[in-house]
Homo-oligomer: A and B are copies of this chain.
Amino acid sequence: MVDEPVRRERKSRRRAEGATPKAQRSVDYRQLRNPFAPQKAFSDDRIAEMHETALRILEELGIKVLLPEARKIYARAGAIVDDGTEMVRIGREVVDAAIRTAPKSFRLRGGQAQRDVTMEPGALVFQAGAGCPHLTDRARGRRPGTLSDYLETVKLTQSFDVLHTIGPHVEAQDVPINLRHYAMTRGGLVLSDKPCFVYARGTPQVEDTLEMIRIARGLDADAFRDDAWCYTVINTNSPRTLDIPMAQGLIDMAKAGQPSVVTPFCLAGAMAPITMAGAITLQHAEALAAIVLTQLVRPGAPVLYGSFSSNVDMKLGSPAFGTPEHVTATLGSGQLARLIGLPWRSAAASAANVADAQASTETMMSLWGCLMAGVTYVVHSAGWLEGGLTFSLEKMMIDLEALQTLAELCTPAPAEADDIGFDAIASVEPGGHFFAAEHTMQRYQTAFYDPLIADWSNFGSWTENGAMTADERATALWQKKLADFTPPPMDEARIEELDAFIAKRTEQGGAPPVS
């Protein structure tokens, strides 16, 4: 009979309960290394050809750079610049030099050393969904994001060690855009000690934000500049355009010694060639152009290569994620990142409208794609729905289960002689069970991962308990985590200084975004 033991097991439930108090399982999710070897989507010679083609694109076709200051920087390095068309053509020797000076590893620092993460090939850093204009949860419905919503996403991020950085999870649309960065940055700095995000919406906002981080972390200007304390995300405007705030962000962050996460968004068939090989080649050219700019501003400035290429639905024009094309693009991007040796970001993502089986299938497919691609920094890995239009608190909890499962796999399972357990096996008669074995009793309290959301009760018990789906159960979890939240310790004086700074800048009119 097939898998008869499943049924048999269900019938004979036993408990392995000792008299001792429950030991706490503790696995460090803070600094993770990818346990898997990077995999390929394309042969090495095809990847070399894509790199070569990207260099030709930069040399022969060029990239449109809307910011005059950026064009000057490129020109000084020998790029051929046409201010009339705003086109910049970059020779391969300039690209090669930038690849040489860009750091292959850097530490991204939080408010405490235990929150630092290392950005380098082989490391594995997770961030929840970001950039969402809406937030949804089952208790309060789907709505335009508010500051209160954003602060909840920060608290929830802070509550799970497997999330490593704070991002702009939800837009605080109820705060005017000239003041929004104060409120959101303050939230990230006061409610969390994880490395934080800077909006690249023009120099005034960037400078404000960097100043706030210096205050919160208690650093002088030199100490700040010598380490990476925050990051921004730079999206090129595919195809082949670098707009003003993005170029300015690359320049400002590089000057401050802070990393940009360069992320072309090359949707195959829309803003990029319909072939995945073509889409990631365009992505590569655009990413290289942006990386070059950071290195021209400050050789050695930390920077991440980035990929967020997928396909569109050719009938709807809408982006799709977790597709074969998306996984292929991620794997190919990993190969290109390894070719230039830089740490890099990619994303888990879903285009589903609700935290259902489609959402989890897509997120898991793209998350494993990232893992197989040897990604350093997985953005949008929890809570991201509708291709980024909505952050879902239930989806965040569901995805955290997957992230914690992967994080567990980063620690090798014990396999010493006693774990292999000849004596334990000898101690149990054929047809017996291991519930009461000494080998089990020594380990049962901490042997296994304890799930967040998964309900493994049988159909009868599950039905009696209300037949709740995973997203329904997830509501209680985020509510509990918010209720239990306590912010990390922080010097009151720094909070006061931060608030004084915000008050002063608000009085001055804040900082309108530049576009």
A277 touches B419 (CB 8 A): yes
Closest to A471 in B: B357
The answer to whether A6 and B388 have CB atoms under 8 Å apart is: yes
Question: Does A471 contact B356, Cβ atoms closer than 8 Å?
Answer: yes
Instruction: Count chain B CB atoms within 10 A of each CB in A199, A328, A448, A456 and give the residue with the most.
Output: A456
* A419 & B237 in contact (Cβ 8 Å cutoff): no
Is B133 a contact partner of A7 (Cβ separation < 8 A)? yes
Question: Which of A103-111, A186-194, A318-326, A479-487 makes up part of the contact surface?
Answer: A318-326
Q: How many copies make up the complex?
A: 2
* Interface contacts beyond A13-B318, A274-B437: sample of 14 additional A-B pairs, CB < 8 Å, sorted by A: A7-B389, A9-B318, A13-B317, A46-B420, A49-B420, A239-B429, A270-B433, A271-B433, A273-B439, A281-B425, A282-B425, A328-B413, A361-B398, A365-B405
Q: Is the CB of B239 within 8 A of A53?
A: no
Q: Do the beta carbons of B420 and A278 come within 8 Å of each other?
A: yes
Give the complex CA separation of A241 and B428 in angstroms: 12
Question: Please, how many angstroms separate the alpha-carbon atoms of A4 and B53 in the complex?
Answer: 27
Complex Cα distance, B408 from A311, in Å, reads 14
Binary flags per residue of A2-35, CB closer than 8 Å to B gives 1, else 0: 1111110110111110000000000000000001
4 tightest A-B CB contacts, nearest first: A2-B131, A324-B408, A278-B421, A364-B364
Once the chains bind, are B325 and A448 in contact (CB under 8 Å)? yes
Q: Is the CB of B7 within 8 A of A41?
A: no
Q: How would residues 408 to 441 of chain A score, 1 for a CB under 8 Å from any chain B CB and 0 otherwise?
A: 1100111101011110111011111111010110
Which residues of B lie under 8 Å from residue A355 when comparing CB positions? 357
Q: Are B311 and A448 in contact (CB under 8 A)?
A: yes
Is A148 in the interface zone, CB < 8 Å from B?
no
Is A360 part of the contact surface with B, judged by Cβ < 8 Å?
Answer: yes
A235 interface neighbour in B4, B434, B451, B454, Cβ under 8 Å: B4
- The residue of chain B having its C-beta at the shortest distance from the C-beta of A142 within the complex is B459
Is the pair A237, B5 in contact by a Cβ cutoff of 8 Å? Answer: yes
Kindly list chain B residues whose C-beta atoms are within 8 Å of the C-beta of A402: 361, 364-365
Complex Cα distance, B364 from A233, in Å, reads 29
Whether the pair B425, A388 counts as a contact (CB closer than 8 A) is: no
Residue A368 CB within 8 A of the other chain: yes
Complex interface residues of chain A between 335 and 387 (CB less than 8 A to chain B): 351-362, 364-365, 368, 372, 386-387
A455-482 CB contact bits vs B (8 Å, 1 = yes)?
1111100110001011100000000000
B-binding segment of A55-63, A94-102, A155-163, A218-226? A55-63
Chain B, Cβ-Cβ closest to A387: B6
Cβ-defined contact, A421 with B320, below 8 A: no
- Contact among B15, B352, B459 for A386, CB-based, below 8 A: B459
A435/B2 in contact, CB under 8 A: no
Judged by a CB distance under 8 angstroms, whether A150 is at the interface is no
Q: Given A389-B6, A405-B327, A414-B275, is A434 in contact with B239 using a C-beta cutoff of 8 Å?
A: yes
